[in-house]
Every structure is written in structure tokens, then in C-alpha cells.
Amino acid sequence: MIINLCKSSKTTYKAMFLLFIFVQAINAIAAKVYMKFRNITGKKYRNRSAIVHPGAARPFSMVTIAITALIFFMFQGCAKVGNPTGGPEDVNPPKYITGSPENRSTNFTGDKIDITFDEYIQLKDQNREILISPPMKKKPLIRVKEKTIRVTLNEELLPQTTYTLNFGNALSDINESNLLPDFDFVFSTGNTIDSLSVTGKVLDAFNHNPESAGDILVMLYENLSDSAPIVEIPKYYGKTNKNGLFSVNNIHPDTFRVIALKDGNNNQRYDPAVEEIAFLDSLLIVSAENVVLQTFIKDTVKIITPAGKPKRGSKQGTAEIKADTVIAPGKSLNALNVSLYYFMEESNKVFLSSRNRESSERFSFIFNRPPFDTLQIAPLDFKPGGDWFMKEATRNNDSITYWITDTLISKRDTLRLILSYLTTDSAGRFEERMDTVNMRFQSTAEKSVKGAAGRRAKNNVKADKIKALSLSGSISNRGTLNLNRTIVFTAARPLQIVNPEGIELYRLVDTLFVKQQFTCHKDSSVFRVFRVESKWEEGSQYRLLLKPGTASDIYGLTNDSTDIRFVTQQMEYYGRILLTLGGDRYPMIVQVLDEKGRVVDSKYINKPGLAIFDYLSPGKYGLKAIFDENENQKWDTGNYLKHLQPEKIFLSSMPVQLRSNWDYEVSWVISE
């Protein structure tokens, strides 16, 4: 009886009443039995604290009270709110039941909307997932109560306008978190529901990958001026998913300016050269005459099918439960489809992003972009005697390192400097900018000393001292060298001298190491690099020896002895791609990419024909072509206000699976 009562929390109070009657009856029977037993024996019973007097039934009362409490807690557990045990797993998302107003209602004049589903629901990540289009300056207040979502509007709605409330991936049931993706609630303040859409895909202009976080907004403007995305919010907007897909629905027939924006500050406006943008070259005319009926599917969800869910207590309970990918129901849309490619504009505004002084003799400045002219630095708290530094810049010149050659200056713990360089003002005019910086250095020992005692002991701390010039090589000991590579050594500090006579290269012939010819030269652009080149024999053992003192830096430190033994790769290990290019879009930068998208090889090609990519390791490769429209041998980004799209990228749809000692022949006609 108790088990049956526990099956439903609705019977809890009835059960408690019956339990009370049941316990009282047991208590009465126990009392009578006790009195009868006492009359027969004529004995008095003693408990721990007192004598049990005639007519009392205390021992039995304590037992019944304990039984009552135990059963009470059993029933209390039965009354707790929770999921019923047993039965099939819930795999279905919530279903829309009703709304106030109903979904797709017209002539709406209220300020509250209720949306009710068939089960208890929850909303997650509202600020990111939920969109209302056209956008509102004041965000509506959205709350969930049991099975209903209440939307409270905080501003007056536009007349004769269709609004779309899209829940993205925010809406799911509360028990199993079954997602109802891309749910739309639509209403109109006019007599009709606008039914046109713009759909498509937004990809990165440089690699054609979608934004994985799905944070790209697609915006439609009735204001057709170029400045509209900068100064005002859009008329309609939508959001991409992780695959770059989007749909902007329930829009009226009109002509629109269309952009896509990675809105970093969430102000629904474009901040040039700070946020990534994509735009259509021409205005988009949306009308009933030029849209196409299509089924648009934005998301897929993973659910656990009932067949794959083991029953409780079965031996399959430890087996792997497989999730099936289920396509969410598609929407039938009357839509125009567009493709957008987002990019970051190159800014003419130059500013100092970061600065550091990693060692006493080195400090660096990193800019947001390469300065237009030479960066000028001048000391404010010391007077150098002539040239006091060497300058080393990265290849694109946005990071500049200064090596102090005057040891008296490098010993100063703080250098106060003034920097001057060209930048642009808000109107785009060039102007000089000056920054005052303090470049402070602390040795490792000083950093480890804390507090006032450390400050008093500062003069007693010995500076970090380097005893020898550190060299790192591009080939490790016992490593394998590719036949088309040179050996590169990089010093920790700028090199003054590299003496080739201190270098010896040997190749193992039979059982003897034989000296080999080689060349050695310093890198002309990077002061810390030198290279060793030779005509490598395939599948051979080599030994490279750098004697002590072969290289010395500008501070007089020299290297220790370096002894590297390595082998060269077999020629038959490599494969080749024989690429025949067609089309008329030249010049082209053609790149071979590995599975991680890294550039393995690259060629600049001016006309159709055969391009050979050799010395490729076995593996899977992709091909990428950049149309170098301005012939500067690099990819150039776009500019929105100048109506300049980024240079076009083409990706081969056929991956190349390359094997050792194979030639892979492929033809690629590049067209729009």
C-alpha cells in the first residue's frame, strides 16, 4: 500500500491522514496488550529513566512514535519534485502551444507577449542568442515562468512593421536540455506579415572559414548612404551560426544596403579599422519578383535516440550511448541568397600597442600597424655619446627591437625615452605623434625579492650574467634534414662576427667522415641569424661542428662548441604536385597548404601553365590561389568607405592525397 501511495505526489496528504489513523490504532492495541500482560504477570517494568506505572504504555508509545517518524520521512521523500523513474528518455524539444498574441498575429498594439510551450522551459545566454528585428534601442525584458516566456517591450513599436523575435540556441526544455533551435515568434503592428527574406553565408575573406563562435551580424539598411552602418542601427538584422549561415526574415520589399559585421562593442554600428566587416558591392533590391522559394536549414542538433538509451539496471548500462545528429526542421522562405566575405581594414592610424624591456640591453615597441616612416627615439634622462643602439625590425616592421650597444646605458634600470612617429587624425590627415615612455628592467633576482627588505637589499643583488653566446639550430642532434633546406642558426643577441673557418661539415662515406664544401653567410635583415648551406646527398649521415668562438655577438660573447649529427631524407620519400593552371586571372600567388592550413610552399605565377611543387612530405594538401590585383606579391585587405573589396581568394575543392615517390597531376581552371 505504501509503495502504491508513493507513485504520485498528489496522494501524499491522503496517505499521511491514513497513516495517522493507522498509527493510533496500533498504539491502542499495544496499550491493551500491555495491560493484559501486566495483569497476568503482576510485574512492573523499568526503563532507563523512570518506573513504568500501571496503566502506562510508554515503551510501546516510543516504538510507535519512531515508526511514525520513519514512515513520515518515507512519504516526505515521495512528495519531492523530480523526474519520474522509468519510461523512455525525453528526446523531443519543446513545442509551441499558444501565444498572447498568437504567433504571426497582426495589428498588435500591446507591450507584453506571452509564448507558451508544452513543457517546462529555460533560456540560456539570452544576451548573445536572442535577437529582435527590427532592433530596438531599449532591449525588451524577457523572463521565463514554468512553460511560458514573457516578453515585456520597453519602447513604442514602429507602425506597419513586422517584428521577428529569434531565440537562436537559447531555448530548451528544463529536464533534458533538448534544444529548440532558431525558433521565431513573429508579429506585426500592421495589417500584414512581411514574408521576404535574405539568406546566405558569411566567411573570412582570407581563408574562407566561418567565424566559429557565430558572432557575425548581417545588417540591412534602408538608408542607402555609405555612412549609414557607421552612424545608425540597421532596419533589419540577423546572426550567423558557427557554419556562417544566416537568414534575415520577415522583411518588406525595398532596396537595402547590406553589410556583415563582427560587432566587438555590441553597439550595432561599424567602427572602421577596429571591427571586421563585409559588404555587397551593390545595393540589394528585395521584391516578390526576384526572390526564390527555398528551404533554409540553419542548425543541426545532437540527441540520444530512445533505441540507443539503455534501460536502468540493465547490463548495457556501461555501454557507450550513441548520439544521432538530427537536422532541425527547415523553414520555407521566399529569399534572395548572397555571399559575404569579412575582413579587417588596414588603419592609417598608428599607435603603440605594447612595450617591454626583456633584458638590460634590449627593449621593444609593438605597434598596431607598421609606422609610415622611421620611428625616432630620443633619451630624456641621459646623454648618449654617439650611436648607442642597433635596431632590429620584424619583416612587416610593426615590431621594433633596440639593442643597446653602450654598456653604461644598459646598466641603467630605467630609460626615459620620447618616441615620435607619423599617424593620422580623425579626418585622415597625417600628424606627428609623440609618446613618453619609461623602459624599466628588473633582473630575475630582483623580481624575486619582495617588500621593503627587498628594496633595501637591491644594491646587494647581483645582475643576471650570461657567460656564453647561445645558438639554436633549425636541425636537432640525431634529426633528419630535408634536402631542400638550409641549416639556420639563431643567436640570442645580434651577431658581430661569424667566422666560417670555425665551421666544419662532414659526410659519412663508407666508414669515414669526409669533409664537405659549404657556404656560410649572415642574414642581411635579421642580425641574429646565419645560415649553413651545402649540396646535400640523400640518405646520408652528416656531422656539423662549430668550434668555440666561431660566432661572437656585439657584446663580445662567443659560442661554446656545437656538435650536431644528422641524416638527410631519401629522395624517394617525397612526392610532387604537378599543377596545370587555367583561367585568365593573373598574376596569382599559388600556395600549397597542409591539413592545418599552414603554407608549405608558394609560387608567384604570371600566366597559365604548369607549376611544380616538389619536396613534399606524404600527406593531405590543399591548394589556395590569391589574385594579386595590384601586383605587390601579397594579399591586400579591403576598405569599406572606398568600396574596395579584399583581393579574391580561390580554394581548390579537391584535396590532394600525396604519397611518397608519387607525382600528383591536377588541373585547376580558376574562375569566379
End-to-end CA distance of the chain: 77
C-alpha span between 600 and 624 (Å, rounded): 11
208 CB-contact burial (10 Å; exposed 0-12 / middle 13-18 / buried 19+): middle
Q: What is the mean pLDDT of residues 79-101?
A: 76
Q: What pLDDT is recorded for position 22?
A: 67
> Is domain 352-445 classified as CATH 1.10.287?
no
Can you give the pLDDT at residue 212?
A: 83
Compute the average pLDDT of residues 113-138.
Answer: 95
Kindly report the CATH number that applies to the domain delimited by 196-306+330-342.
Answer: 2.60.40
Which of 231-240, 463-472, 482-491, 525-534 comes out lowest in average pLDDT? 463-472
Rg (CA), the chain: 39
Percent of the chain with pLDDT over 90: 69
Banded model confidence at residue 4, pLDDT cuts 50, 70, 90: very low
Longest pairwise C-alpha distance within the chain: 124
| Per-residue pLDDT at 303 exceeds 50 | no
* DSSP single-letter state for residue 506: E
The reported pTM is 0.77
The neighbouring-strand residues paired with 624 are 591, 651
Over residues 226-271, the pLDDT tens digits come to 999 999 999 999 999 999 999 999 999 999 999 999 999 999 999 9
Find the mean pLDDT for residues 563-586. Answer: 96
Residue 34 pLDDT: 58
Q: Which CATH architecture has domain 471-569?
A: Sandwich (2.60)
* Same CATH fold assignment for domains 196-306+330-342 and 573-669: yes
The residue length of the chain stands at 672
Residue 298, pLDDT > 70, answer yes
Right CATH for 573-669 from 1.10.645.10, 3.30.365.10, 2.60.40.2580, 3.30.70.330: 2.60.40.2580
**392-413 pLDDT, tens digit each:** 988 888 999 999 999 999 999 9
Q: At 464, which amino acid appears?
A: D
CA 162, CA 194: separation in Å to the nearest integer? 6
pLDDT higher for 8 or 356?
356
Residue 319 has pLDDT above 60, yes or no: no
Kindly indicate the confidence band of residue 72, based on its pLDDT and cuts at 50, 70 and 90.
low
Q: Bridge-partner residues for 616, per DSSP? A: 575
Q: Three-state DSSP class for 583?
A: coil
Band of residue 296 on the pLDDT scale cut at 50, 70, 90: confident
Mean per-residue pLDDT, 38-66 = 47
CA-to-CA distance for 115 and 144, rounded, in angstroms? 9
d(CA 423, CA 519): 43
Residue range 49-59: average pLDDT? 43
Give residue 385's pLDDT. Answer: 84
What pLDDT is stored for residue 123 in this prediction?
A: 96
CATH number corresponding to 96-188? 2.60.40.1220
* pLDDT > 50? residue 317: no
Region 540-548: mean pLDDT is 97
The pLDDT mean for the chain works out to: 85
Q: Give the start-to-end residue ranges of the domains of the chain.
A: 2-78, 96-188, 196-306+330-342, 352-445, 471-569, 573-669
Is residue 294 over pLDDT 60?
yes
| Residue 36's pLDDT band (cuts 50, 70, 90) | low
Which pLDDT tens digit goes with each residue over 601-642?
999 999 999 999 999 999 999 999 999 999 999 999 999 999
Cell output for 512? 669515414
